[in-house]
Amino acid sequence: MARYLLRQSLNILLTLLAVTFLVFALNELTPGDVARKLLGPYATQEQVDHLFREMGLDRPLLVRYAEYVGNVLRGDLGTSVIYRQPVADVLLDRLGNTLLLAAICFAVIVPLSVALGVLAGMRERSPLDRGISVFASICASIPEFAMGVFMLAIFVVWLGVLPGTSPMRATAEWPVWMQFVLPVAVVTLYDAGYLVSMIRASMVEVMRQPFVRTAVLKGMPFHRVVTRHAMRNALITPFTVILLQLNYLVSGLVVVETLFAYPGFGRMMLEAALAKDIAVVEAGALVAVTVTMLTQLLGDLGYMKLDPRIRI
Amino acid sequence: MTDKLHPLVTAAGREMADGKLDRREFLRVATLLGVGAGAAYSMAGLSEPAMAQGAPRKGGTLRLGMRVQDLSSPHTYSWIEATNVARQTVEYLTYTGVDNVTRPGLVEKWEASPDLKSWKISLRRDAKWRKGGRPFNADDAIWNMKRMLDPATGSSTVGLLRAFILENFELDEIDPRTQKKRVSFRLWDSNAFRKIDDFTFEINGKSSFLGIPEAMFHYPAHMLDPAEGGKFGVGSNGTGAFELVELEVGKRAVLTARKDGYWGGGPWLDRIEVIDLGDDSAAQVAALASRQVDMIYQGAIAALPAAERLPHVQVNSVDTAYTAVARVQPVKPFDDKRVRQALRHATDTEAVLKVAHRGLGKPGEHHHVAKVHPEYADVGFMRRDVAKAKALLAEAGYPNGIDTEIACRPQPDWELLAVQTMVEQWKEAGIRVKINVMPSAQYWDVWTKVPFGFTTWAHRPLGVMVLGLAYRSGAAWNESNWSNKEFDALLAEAEGYLDVERRRAVVAKLEQIMLDDGPAVVPLWRALFNYSDKKVKGYRIHPTAYIEFKEVWIEG
């Protein structure tokens, strides 16, 4: 176990190093010049060159990368070019917002998907199963931006009962909690649609197992068969998938954040990437990769717990 | 406003009386030469436009949906959004109105020498800094202008005034890339800015320049408190009607009304909140619909129909010379002017305007001079003629049409729509064009290099300004590499005429050359538009998208 954790930690560090280098190099290769971007279209080439040198961008890529890694190891993530603040400040603020949104979504998505998936899967091809499956497929197949626009049209423009954007500031009319309703609803419908189908499929398979038939035949009440025997087994496969949703919820909310003007991590990453604000992009990549690797680790450990046959 | 009129004003007045000078152009010239707007309007026999929107009401908060950018260095701003926040605190010396007429701001009056090289600028005496209460004086103005023209600052004002007041010189450094000495620039003369007294100074250029008052309204030309060293932020000093009290880049900015009295009357609003809604046009409309903002800085075509349906929202729009042109470089098959003509004949600009910009604006006429330009000449509207386009192609040796590719950007949305519409129209004439959509950043890397591209051009007050930038042989921004000796000579001639009628006569020839030989298809002139809640009063949209809040109020 200790060896496993050590190996995994090393693995994470190596991946982080590789990703930061790749991001650095890719940023270099993509077109556009950060100095030109900052000075605007009317600045002369001399002024652009001047800033370019001032920012140290005329030095070789490897030198700048080594310097960057050195700074990060000392805990200095650099300064954002577009936000003109230390990267750590911007990042923490935006990440905090996204984690809050992600936590609320996760807290809604998981119980909802498990409940619907189990309900659908316990009696295959029942009307309940059909209803839930169709609903889940529809939700999962409408892209977030389309779902968002539908919801805006209904609840904001037509009914006028919810705020259309979520800048996370209370106004006289719209308290902050109401500003969460639409983003959470869009993420939940989209993401739960997928999870429900996964859990249902796993449940269907478990319900066909001999031990379930045995339990039913020996006269155990159906709800106990489901909750005591089937559910735990049915959740082993979707467990990893559920954990993978954490990734999506931290770094994949860019569409929803943009649509609802939510000041989160995804929107920050998009804007930083477009402006070639490399310090922010790198820090964001570090966070995203760490989250991915940690959820994988968590997934492995959880797997072991759920299925005693697995040993690491 | 001035005691004696500039000789050019008298001349211009005579020409107007003879019917040779357009009243609008007279207004512009007269005000630039130091005649007050009110006086100029009455000399022109017009009444100054007034806003009849009822009596202003004091109080209330206005919430504006607009990007909140870094504001730390006003003299190097490159986006209007940043200036729209800072402008409320740090003002300009002059103000060019929606009507293209430049009026005094912190400057009370100006006088130009007959040769337009020397400008005497008198400041108003009642404009005071919010902090310290000191009057805004000539030292402040000169410090700001010199700072903007310093190469170390990096202000775009340099591009505007370079020929007038700066000279190049060689540095001792060698540029490793070109192996030549680096070149920098400085004021051409130690007397370029000369203080006369506390409220008067002189600007002395090395060449004639009519546009000094307009240059003082160039968007980064904010007047900052020299004690703050060119920086701007929360609590920064200013002469303006509002104070910046909160700033979170990417999220919001808050301004509150100045309490110690403002020289310009008003302000009426107590508070302005700028809320960053990102770039998504759906978010903008959603925020308007749920009344989370009272105004949107600029509208997008895709969301316009939705915004139009909101009963409490008003769409404000103004015609501009803002456009995008499909231009070709002289390489095969476009090295033959008949092929370039065919491209124009195959385009239905009215249809492009309707489809790509929902009819907001004016159809293009394939020469880059717009109806809003004072020297615009009507040389006839070119209607679509597919048969003629086909015939021209056949004559040029392409009886089966041509196959080519156009480069363009996906944003703003109307640009791609315009390209798609034109490509469909061209197809009928046998001009088969593939669309190569590339991200904006990538497009700006290659915009002067692609053989066939679609490039946006901002609004400029004069037609000759844009012709000089985009079509003169060898100009840095001549993206089509087009070169026409006759055009160059006529353009130089047109630039030398202050009198708009004489300029118009030459511009008519320039337009003809562009129709016959030119490299461009100009599909449309955009109208700029935005949205505001109907309770917002006293606001008029400006062709440059500048927003001035000191005159705005919220109806109770």
* Cβ pair A148, A129 in contact under 8 A: no
Going by pLDDT thresholds of 50, 70 and 90, the confidence category of residue B17 is: low
| Candidate ranges A256-260, B137-141, B356-360; pick with highest mean pLDDT | B137-141
pLDDT recorded at residue B286: 92
* Cβ pair B484, B494 in contact under 8 A: no
CB of A86 within 8 Å of a chain B CB? The answer is no
Render pLDDT for A150-179 as a digit per residue (tens, 0 to 9).
Answer: 999 999 988 989 999 998 888 878 999 999
> Helix or strand or coil: residue A104?
helix
Distance from CA of B286 to the nearest CA of A (A): 4
Residue B74 half-sphere exposure toward CB, CA atoms < 13 A: 31
pLDDT recorded at residue B1: 38
- For residue A267, the chain B residues in CB contact (below 8 A) are 278
pLDDT recorded at residue B501: 85
CB of A31 within 8 Å of a chain B CB? The answer is yes
- What pTM was computed for the model? 0.82
Render pLDDT for A64-87 as a digit per residue (tens, 0 to 9).
Answer: 889 888 988 888 888 888 888 899
- Looking at the predicted structure, is the pLDDT value of residue A258 above 50? yes
Residue with tokens 């990102």: B278
Considering only the beta carbons, identify the residue of A50, A174, A268 that sits closest to B154.
A50
- For residue B292, the chain A residues in CB contact (below 8 A) are 163-165, 167, 171, 174
Query: CB A110: neighbour CB atoms within 10 A?
Result: 17
Question: What is the mean pLDDT of the segment spanning B40-44?
Answer: 68
> Helix or strand or coil: residue A131?
helix
CB of A57 within 8 Å of a chain B CB? The answer is no
Render pLDDT for B94-118 as a digit per residue (tens, 0 to 9).
Answer: 988 877 778 889 999 999 888 888 9
- Separation of alpha carbons A41 and A253, rounded Å: 32
In what helix (H) or strand (E) does residue B242 lie, and over which residues does it extend? Answer: strand B242-248
Query: CB B400: neighbour CB atoms within 10 A?
Result: 9
Question: Best interface-test mutation with B: which of A28, A42, A91 has the largest number of B CBs within 10 A?
Answer: A42
Question: Best interface-test mutation with A: which of B158, B167, B292, B477 has the largest number of A CBs within 10 A?
Answer: B292
Beta pairing, strands B118-123 & B107-112: antiparallel
How much of chain A exceeds pLDDT 90, in percent?
A: 39
* Cβ pair B244, B71 in contact under 8 A: yes
B78 to A267: CB separation less than 8 angstroms, yes or no = no
Return all residues near B520 (Cβ < 8 A) that are at least 6 apart: B325, B326, B327, B328, B366, B367, B368, B471, B480, B514
Question: What is the mean pLDDT of the segment spanning B230-256?
Answer: 95
- For residue A46, the chain B residues in CB contact (below 8 A) are 151, 182-185
Q: Is B474 exposed, middle or buried (0-12, 13-18, 19+ CB in 10 A)?
A: exposed
- For residue A37, the chain B residues in CB contact (below 8 A) are 441
Return all residues near A92 (Cβ < 8 A) that are at least 6 apart: none
Distance from CA of B407 to the nearest CA of A (A): 15
Q: Where does B79-220 have alpha helices with state H?
A: 80-86, 138-148, 157-165, 212-215
A261 to B278: CB separation less than 8 angstroms, yes or no = yes
Token pair of A148, please? 């968002």
pLDDT recorded at residue A41: 56
Render pLDDT for B108-151 as a digit per residue (tens, 0 to 9).
Answer: 999 988 888 899 999 999 999 999 999 999 999 999 999 999 98
Residue with more model confidence, B71 or A300: B71
Length reported for chain B: 556
DSSP state of B549: -
Going by pLDDT thresholds of 50, 70 and 90, the confidence category of residue B49 is: low
- Separation of alpha carbons B495 and B269, rounded Å: 43
DSSP-derived secondary structure for B376-397: ----------HHHHHHHHHHTT
Residue with more model confidence, B87 or B463: B87
- Looking at the predicted structure, is the pLDDT value of residue A307 above 70? yes
Going by pLDDT thresholds of 50, 70 and 90, the confidence category of residue A130 is: very high
Render pLDDT for B267-287 as a digit per residue (tens, 0 to 9).
Answer: 999 999 999 998 888 888 999
Question: What is the mean pLDDT of the segment spanning A79-105?
Answer: 90
The residue type of A286 is L
- Separation of alpha carbons B300 and B415, rounded Å: 11
A152 to B282: CB separation less than 8 angstroms, yes or no = yes
Query: CB A124: neighbour CB atoms within 10 A?
Result: 15
pLDDT recorded at residue A48: 72
Going by pLDDT thresholds of 50, 70 and 90, the confidence category of residue B22 is: low
Strand partners, B296: B65, B531
CB of A172 within 8 Å of a chain B CB? The answer is no
Closest residue in A to B218 (Cα) is A42
Nearest to B378 by CA among B389, B387, B386, B367: B367
Residue with more model confidence, B293 or B207: B293
Closest residue in A to B158 (Cα) is A43
CA dist B212 to A276, A297, B32, Å?
Answer: 36, 66, 8
- Separation of alpha carbons B416 and B522, rounded Å: 14
Return all residues near B14 (Cβ < 8 A) that are at least 6 apart: none
Between A184-188, B49-53, B66-70, B481-485, the lowest mean confidence (pLDDT) is in: B49-53
- For residue A50, the chain B residues in CB contact (below 8 A) are 151-152, 154
Cα Rg, chain B, nearest whole Å? 24
Distance from CA of B275 to the nearest CA of A (A): 8
CB of A157 within 8 Å of a chain B CB? The answer is yes
> Helix or strand or coil: residue A231?
helix
- Looking at the predicted structure, is the pLDDT value of residue B354 above 60? yes
In what helix (H) or strand (E) does residue A176 lie, and over which residues does it extend? Answer: helix A176-207
A43 to B309: CB separation less than 8 angstroms, yes or no = no
Phi-psi region of B97 (alpha: psi -120 to 50; beta: other; left: phi over 0): beta
CB contact burial A162-197 (16+ within 10 A = b; e otherwise): bbbbbbbeebeebeeebbbbbbbbbbbbbbbbbbbb
CB of A60 within 8 Å of a chain B CB? The answer is no
Closest residue in A to B63 (Cα) is A171
Question: Best interface-test mutation with B: which of A36, A44, A270 has the largest number of B CBs within 10 A?
Answer: A44
Residue with more model confidence, B448 or A204: A204
Between A55-69, B48-62, B313-327, the lowest mean confidence (pLDDT) is in: B48-62
pLDDT recorded at residue B46: 63
- Looking at the predicted structure, is the pLDDT value of residue A309 above 60? yes
Going by pLDDT thresholds of 50, 70 and 90, the confidence category of residue B289 is: very high
Q: Is A125 exposed, middle or buried (0-12, 13-18, 19+ CB in 10 A)?
A: exposed
- For A:117-156, CB contacts with B below 8 A are 148-149, 152, 156
Render pLDDT for A223-252 as a digit per residue (tens, 0 to 9).
Answer: 999 988 898 888 888 888 888 888 888 878
- For residue A265, the chain B residues in CB contact (below 8 A) are none
Considering only the beta carbons, identify the residue of A84, A173, A258 that sits closest to B291.
A173
How much of chain B exceeds pLDDT 70, in percent?
A: 93
- Separation of alpha carbons B516 and B510, rounded Å: 10
**Interface ipTM > 0.90:** no
- For residue B282, the chain A residues in CB contact (below 8 A) are 148-149, 152, 259
Token pair of B33, please? 């030469």
Question: Best interface-test mutation with A: which of B63, B148, B280 has the largest number of A CBs within 10 A?
Answer: B280
* Cβ pair A285, A206 in contact under 8 A: no
Return all residues near B427 (Cβ < 8 A) that are at least 6 apart: B433
pLDDT recorded at residue B174: 81
Question: What is the mean pLDDT of the segment spanning B188-217?
Answer: 90
Going by pLDDT thresholds of 50, 70 and 90, the confidence category of residue A312 is: low
* Cβ pair A176, A169 in contact under 8 A: yes
- Looking at the predicted structure, is the pLDDT value of residue B176 above 90? no
Render pLDDT for A22-52 as a digit per residue (tens, 0 to 9).
Answer: 988 888 777 667 776 666 655 666 667 777 7
Longest alpha-carbon distance in chain B: 76
End-to-end CA distance of chain A: 6
- Pairs across A and B, CB distance < 8 A: 135
pLDDT recorded at residue B48: 63
Residue B267 preceded by cis peptide, ω within 30: yes
- Looking at the predicted structure, is the pLDDT value of residue B261 above 60? yes
pLDDT recorded at residue B42: 66
Q: Is A45 exposed, middle or buried (0-12, 13-18, 19+ CB in 10 A)?
A: exposed
| Average pLDDT of chain B to the nearest whole number | 88
Render pLDDT for B434-467 as a digit per residue (tens, 0 to 9).
Answer: 999 987 767 877 888 899 999 988 887 778 878 8
- Separation of alpha carbons B1 and B174, rounded Å: 51
CA dist B214 to B52, B104, B265, Å?
Answer: 27, 10, 23
Strand partners, B104: B94
Return all residues near B174 (Cβ < 8 A) that are at least 6 apart: B180, B181, B182
Backbone angles phi, psi at B252, to 5 degrees: -160, 160
Going by pLDDT thresholds of 50, 70 and 90, the confidence category of residue B244 is: very high
Question: What is the mean pLDDT of the segment spanning A180-207?
Answer: 93
| Average pLDDT of chain A to the nearest whole number | 87
DSSP state of B226: G
A31 to B445: CB separation less than 8 angstroms, yes or no = yes
Residue B480 half-sphere exposure toward CB, CA atoms < 13 A: 27
A41 to B285: CB separation less than 8 angstroms, yes or no = no
CA dist B221 to B80, B89, B168, Å?
Answer: 12, 13, 22
Is the alpha carbon torsion for B173, B179, B184, B190 positive or negative? positive
pLDDT recorded at residue A44: 62
CATH match for A99-265+295-306 among 1.10.10.10, 1.10.3720.10, 3.30.70.1520, 2.40.50.140: 1.10.3720.10
pLDDT recorded at residue B458: 80
B286 to A164: CB separation less than 8 angstroms, yes or no = yes
- Separation of alpha carbons B360 and B525, rounded Å: 9
Question: What is the mean pLDDT of the segment spanning B329-336?
Answer: 92
A157 to B289: CB separation less than 8 angstroms, yes or no = yes
* Cβ pair B368, B475 in contact under 8 A: no
pLDDT recorded at residue B33: 74
